[in-house]
């Protein structure tokens, strides 16, 4: 069957596959360019995101915007979403059953956007997408090519707000991400 954003939105807005629907104000699907070559995946909506229905609008989102802008990225040329689309109460980590209930929506989104690069923001995205035992402190910045996607992970912007010392390695990851994007876009036009 043909995929469409209308189908995805309809399914997400009426979703009751896990308990998170009971507490949500809004389902938070994604923002940015649906034709982007790069997709950033966070963990799940926080309070501001739940209230607005838009991912990464709170303090972590403001830092993410600045980091992306420093390498020429924004919602004009990137797509941003989360592993789970409803807010876990009190910003706790999403539980495994909640992730598994939601993961097909992300797969569907990925298939429609079909980016060249996927960036996992933080541990939850990295352990869900890259490998269950992924260690963000040790393995951030490593690239894996899978099913035609180049995938990497870096620190979640919330972690950078808590621990300033992670800002430099995150900045270096972003610069490498920018170089990889340029390289992949250039080989396409050669
Ligand atoms: N943290 C996330 O992982 N995602 C958001 O959308 C906001 C904060």
Confidence (pLDDT) at 126: 98
Q: Where is 50: in which H helix or E strand?
A: helix 47-52
**Local structure of 151: helix, strand or coil:** strand
Kindly list the distances between the CA atom of residue 149 and the CA atoms of 92, 120, 129, 145, in Å, as whole numbers in the listed order.
29, 12, 12, 6
**Quick check: CB of 49 below 6 Å from ligand 1?**
yes
pLDDT in tens, 55-113: 999 999 999 999 999 999 999 999 999 999 999 999 999 999 999 999 999 999 999 99
Confidence (pLDDT) at 1: 74
Mean pLDDT of 105-134: 98
Spell out the residues 6+ positions from residue 101 whose beta carbon is closer than 8 angstroms to its own.
15, 17, 18
Q: What superfamily in CATH does domain 28-189 come from?
A: Uracil-DNA glycosylase-like domain (3.40.470.10)
Q: Could you tell me where the beta strands, DSSP code E, fall in 48-111?
A: 79-82
**Quick check: CB of 27 below 6 Å from ligand 1?**
no
Mutate to test the pocket of ligand 1, among 87, 99, 158 (most ligand atoms within 8 A of CB): 158
Q: How many helices (H) and strands (E) does the chain have?
A: 8, 6
**Encoding tokens for residue 58?**
């709170």
**Quick check: CB of 45 below 6 Å from ligand 1?**
yes
pLDDT in tens, 141-157: 999 999 999 999 999 99
Q: Is the pTM above the cut of 0.95? A: yes
Confidence (pLDDT) at 124: 98
Rounded CA-CA distance 58/125 in Å is: 18
**Encoding tokens for residue 177?**
């991400």
Q: Give the start-to-end residue ranges of the domains of the chain.
A: 28-189
């Amino acid at each position: 069957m043909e995929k469409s954003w209308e189908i995805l939105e309809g399914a997400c807005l009426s979703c009751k596959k896990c308990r998170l629907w009971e507490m949500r104000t809004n389902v938070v699907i994604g923002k940015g360019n649906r034709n982007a070559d790069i997709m950033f995946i966070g963990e799940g909506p926080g309070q501001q995101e739940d209230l607005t229905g838009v991912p990464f609008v709170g303090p972590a989102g403001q830092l993410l915007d600045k980091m992306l802008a420093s390498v020429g990225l924004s919602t004009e040329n990137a797509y941003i979403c989360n592993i789970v689309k409803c807010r876990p109460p009190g910003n706790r980590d999403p539980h495994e059953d909640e992730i598994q209930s939601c993961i097909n929506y992300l797969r569907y989104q990925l298939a429609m956007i079909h980016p060249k690069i996927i960036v996992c923001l933080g541990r939850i995205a990295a352990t869900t997408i890259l490998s269950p035992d992924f260690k963000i402190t040790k393995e951030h910045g490593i690239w894996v090519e899978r099913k035609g996607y180049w995938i990497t992970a870096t620190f979640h912007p919330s972690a950078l707000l808590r621990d300033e010392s992670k800002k430099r390695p995150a900045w270096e990851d972003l610069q490498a991400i920018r170089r990889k994007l340029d390289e992949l876009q250039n080989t396409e036009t050669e």
